[in-house]
Structure 1
Amino acid sequence: MPEVLYKANPSVWRSHPFGALIAWLMVLGGAAIVLTGTLPLPPEAQQSLQLPDGFEPRWLGYGLIAVGLFQLLRWWLATLMDHLEINEDELIWTHGLLSKQYIEINMTSVRTVRVEQSLFQRLLGAGDLKVYTAGDDPEVRIRGLPRPQEIRQHIKRQSAGED
């Protein structure tokens, strides 16, 4: 059995840094509204705010919690569906939760490995990876992988036939 050189799943935090932060703030803000039963506004702002009769702030809090948790759960499930494994002979990309898609690329057929990193991805140690074998379109596109430069080095080293 070939030795596994690298194994990873994309990360929610690394793939969606601002989105994850906003979703967590929605959950925490919603929890604060549910616990206190009031909107976190200064008293003069609450008095000037025209709320409909029978408005219950706790329902807004429950809504914020539900939307934030739904988005985090959706992203988390998406990261569980994606898995990259690099061994001595091939790169294996697995995608899917119930039905699976496998892409296996022989290391000797890799022509180009492209790593793209935004400023925030660089700060978080993540990046997007594209692997080209033939043609102009990449065989594999993977977002939010940790340590993308290490992945690129593994692929280039193995595709060149080094040990």
Structure 2
Amino acid sequence: MSAREPAIDARPAMFRNHPFGFILSVLLIPAFGLGLLILLWWYLQTRSVRLRIDADQVHLERGLLSKSHVDLDIGQIRTVKVDQSFFDRIFRVGRIAVYTTGDNPEFRVNGIPDPNRVREYVRGRREGVA
């Protein structure tokens, strides 16, 4: 891995995050193309969120036309909370909340593939920084 290449580069998953919604959308395609509109909107939603983690930084980028960025030093992160339902565990996706100080998370991201990998990576890097 090069110095510029992020260790983790993830976007929310479509099918794995909501498999039943995906199947329903495909079934609705014959209904005046409603399923295609739903899938297009859903695809744009997943492409508008990007979580990148490199050696010392966590970057969250939201938006397609307007952008919002959150950058955190791994040493500042106190907790990475992972929530997974039964179906999330089957499809290996989950919700991540990143806390620095206080009771409110700095950000939350839904539908991230393999969220425990993110939590373990941040934990390992944070211990290396401290």
Is 1:95–2:62 an aligned residue pair? yes
Alpha-carbon separation, structure 2, partners of 1:74 and 1:67: 11
Larger radius of gyration: 1
Residue 113 (structure 1) shift: 0.7
Superposed structure 1 runs of 4+ greater than 4 Å apart: none
Q: What is the CA RMSD across the aligned residues, in angstroms?
A: 1.3
Q: CA deviation at 1:3?
A: 4.8
- The amino acid of 2:84's aligned partner reads Q
d(CA) in 2 for partners of 1:6, 1:111: 19
Structure-2 separation of matches of 1:119 and 1:72: 24
1:67-92 Cα offsets, whole Å, 9 max, x none, are 11111111100111000100111100
Could you tell me which residue of structure 2 aligns to residue 75 of structure 1?
Answer: 42
SS at match of 2:105: coil
- Secondary structure in 2 matching 1:161: helix
5+ unaligned residues in a row in structure 1: which ranges? Answer: 31-60
Aligned pair partner of 1:25 in 20, 24, 27: 27
Equivalent residue for 1:117, pick from 75, 84, 100: 84
Per-residue Cα deviation, 1:111-143 (whole angstroms, up to 9, x for no partner)? 011000111111111111010001111111000
TM-score computed with the length of structure 2 as normaliser: 0.92
Which deviates more from structure 2 when the two are superposed, residues 8-17 or residues 114-123? 8-17
Aligned-pair identity (%): 36
Instruction: Kindly indicate whether the alpha-carbon contact (under 8 Å) linking 1:2 and 1:89 is maintained by their aligned counterparts in 2.
Output: no
Higher helix share: 1
Tell me which residue corresponds to 1:85: 52
- Once residues 2 and 107 of structure 1 are traced to their aligned partners in structure 2, the CA distance between those partners, rounded to angstroms, is 16
Structure with greater strand share of residues? 2
Mapped contact 1:111–1:132 kept (Cα < 8 A): yes
The runs of 5 or more residues in structure 2 that have no matched partner are none
